[in-house]
Amino acid sequence: MSYPNYRLPLQGLRVIDMTVVWAGPFTTVLLSDMGAELIRVESLEFPDYNTRGQAIVPDATQGSGGSYPDNVAGDRPWNRNSNFNTTGRNKKSVTIDITRPEGRAAFLRLVQACDMFVENNSAGVIDKLGITWDVLSQVNPRLIMISMSGFGHSGPYKDYRAFGANMEAIVGHTLLRGYPDRDATDTSPVFLADAAGGSVGAFAMMAALRHRNRTGRGQYIDMSQAENIGHFLSQAVMDYSMNQRVQGTLGNRDPVWAPQGVYRCAGTDDWLAISVRDDAEFAALCQQMGQPELATEERFAGSLQRQRNHDTLDELIGAWTAGKDRNVLFRQLQGAGVPAGPVYPASGVFGDEHLRARDMWQHVTLPDAGAHWYLKPTAGHMSRTPLAIWEPAPNMGADNEYVYKQVMGFTDAEYEVMVEAGHVGTEYTVARKAREAREAAAGRGGGG
């Protein structure tokens, strides 16, 4: 699918993407979805296992990679990893080794030609590479730069490494997501911190862009992903601040609304989520259950009483939903004004009639990964500038010549120097050496 004939919201902006895992790539894909030119800087010398996946996959694991199409990593797994191919859409890829002087010099030329720089590496990475804000702002005073490390670039934890699970744990999120009769080891890793960090990171960049449009000056954003996810727990934090009350695990229940829960339906693992906010909705639920008299019983009069007798309500509702089709109950309750929804696995989400009617997926073909369905941009339904996946995630180094020559202004001779020096390529060095070793071994075997 080619870019549209209308101007996209962020068209004309150029952004350097040096991000890893999910939070950073999600920030940059939100910008690229809106039309910004995202240039992902990658190194042939240092494989990005967290984002592109394996650089070399031994033969013994060739059927076990669940992140690859058909569970096969293939000869070039870094181009087939689903984690990267999901958030790599509408981006370009250039290979530069910034750890070497000529690579760092090339990166600084790229900075001169760009509006923004996004990175979410551990705090010490950009210091070691010599590409801190102090350096880059001298190269390009209009640059907007955001660092999205786990704990920020100041404070006692600044040098600590973290993934979503670590950040969520340290701000109290993990202990709020479990069940009352279980301990923290039974809490599933949902990594909300990554998606939340990516969204707020993109918003912060837009705010800084607005500032630059007014003043002509760029700025540096030091964002802590842990602090960001902490705001998603404001109710628990304020409860402790005001009442010295420590919230515990609630399972699927709500602190106020009742009943609220997930109830088993027909099928081996079919469930329905129901959430009742007030007396009117509870009366409607009782009516649909064929037990309207429950709504007038004293033990269920008001949300406080229903909270106190929640276990009994769960038994009554569970007895009613058991054996019934969750989708039938979903529509039945919604028709009566009761908030309800089926609990879908991934297959159910993909097959849902409403999500398909909303055109939530797009069929995209990638050079090394084949054709698959991908989630479309999150804010795609814009009346004047609808969004889509204009370009699939790039193979590593696919845009080397364009970025070096047209963006950074390298001459043909300068470009060839970078090629000869090993900066430019489409294959990790460690993977190339392994491939050459296999080819040599095969040659020796054939000659025997």
pLDDT tens digits along 139-150 = 999 999 999 999
Confidence of residue 60 (pLDDT cuts 50, 70, 90): very low
pLDDT at 420 over 70: yes
Within a domain: 421: yes
CB 310 within 8 A of CB 259: yes
pLDDT in tens, 374-402: 999 998 999 999 999 999 999 999 999 99
Residues shown for the chain: 448
- 307 with 364, same domain: the answer is no
- 302 with 428, same domain: the answer is no
Indicate the helix (H) or strand (E) that contains 145.
Answer: strand 144-147
- 121 with 186, same domain: the answer is yes
- 334 with 395, same domain: the answer is no
- 151 with 45, same domain: the answer is yes
pLDDT at 304 over 50: yes
- pLDDT for 135 equals 97
Within a domain: 138: yes
- 424 with 383, same domain: the answer is yes
Indicate the helix (H) or strand (E) that contains 14.
Answer: strand 14-18
CA angle 292-293-298, nearest 5°? 130
pLDDT at 215 over 60: yes
Task: Tell me which of 309, 344, 379 is where a domain ends.
Answer: 344
pLDDT in tens, 181-202: 888 888 887 788 899 999 999 9
HSE (CB half, 13 Å, CA atoms) of 113?
Answer: 16
φ/ψ (deg, to 5) at 262: -120, 125
Query: Average pLDDT over the chain, rounded to whole?
Result: 93
Residue type for 356, please? R
pLDDT (mean) for 417-422? 97
pLDDT in tens, 314-354: 999 999 999 999 999 999 999 999 999 999 998 899 999 99
Per DSSP, the three-state class of 438 is helix
CA distance 231 to 293: 42
- pLDDT for 439 equals 87
Q: Shortest CA distance to 396 belongs to which of 36, 76, 72?
A: 76
CA distance 246 to 248: 6
Kindly give the residue spans of alpha helices, DSSP state H, lying in 63-180.
82-87, 101-112, 123-129, 133-139, 164-170
Instruction: Give one word for 139, left, alpha or beta, with left for phi > 0 and alpha for psi -120 to 50.
Output: alpha
- 91 with 141, same domain: the answer is yes
DSSP state of 257: -
Instruction: State the DSSP string of 28-46.
Output: HHHHHHTT-EEEEEE-SSS
CA distance 146 to 263: 44
CA distance 21 to 29: 13
CB 82 within 8 A of CB 68: yes
- 191 with 317, same domain: the answer is no
CB 399 within 8 A of CB 14: no
Contacts of 413 (CB under 8 A, 6+ apart): none
Distances (CA, A) of 377 to 29, 206, 361: 8, 17, 9
Q: Facing residues of 16 across strands?
A: 39, 117
Within a domain: 349: no
- pLDDT for 181 equals 86
pLDDT at 63 over 50: no
Give the E-state strand segments of 230-311 in sequence order: 260-264, 271-275
CB 430 within 8 A of CB 422: no
- 391 with 278, same domain: the answer is no
CB 71 within 8 A of CB 82: no
Q: Which residue range(s) make up the domain with 409?
A: 14-223+358-436
pLDDT (mean) for 77-98? 95
Task: Tell me which of 344, 366, 401 is where a domain ends.
Answer: 344
Within a domain: 385: yes
pLDDT at 24 over 50: yes
Within a domain: 1: no
Within a domain: 255: no
pLDDT (mean) for 282-305? 97
CA distance 148 to 227: 11
pLDDT at 429 over 50: yes
Q: Kindly tell me the sign of the dihedral angle through the C-alpha atoms of 113, 114, 117, 118.
A: negative
How many domains does the chain contain in total? Answer: 2
Q: Kindly tell me the sign of the dihedral angle through the C-alpha atoms of 121, 127, 133, 137.
A: negative
Within a domain: 246: no
How is residue 42 written in tokens?
């990658």
Confidence of residue 58 (pLDDT cuts 50, 70, 90): low
Quickly count helices (H) and strands (E) in the chain: 19, 11
CB 279 within 8 A of CB 302: yes
pLDDT at 448 over 50: no
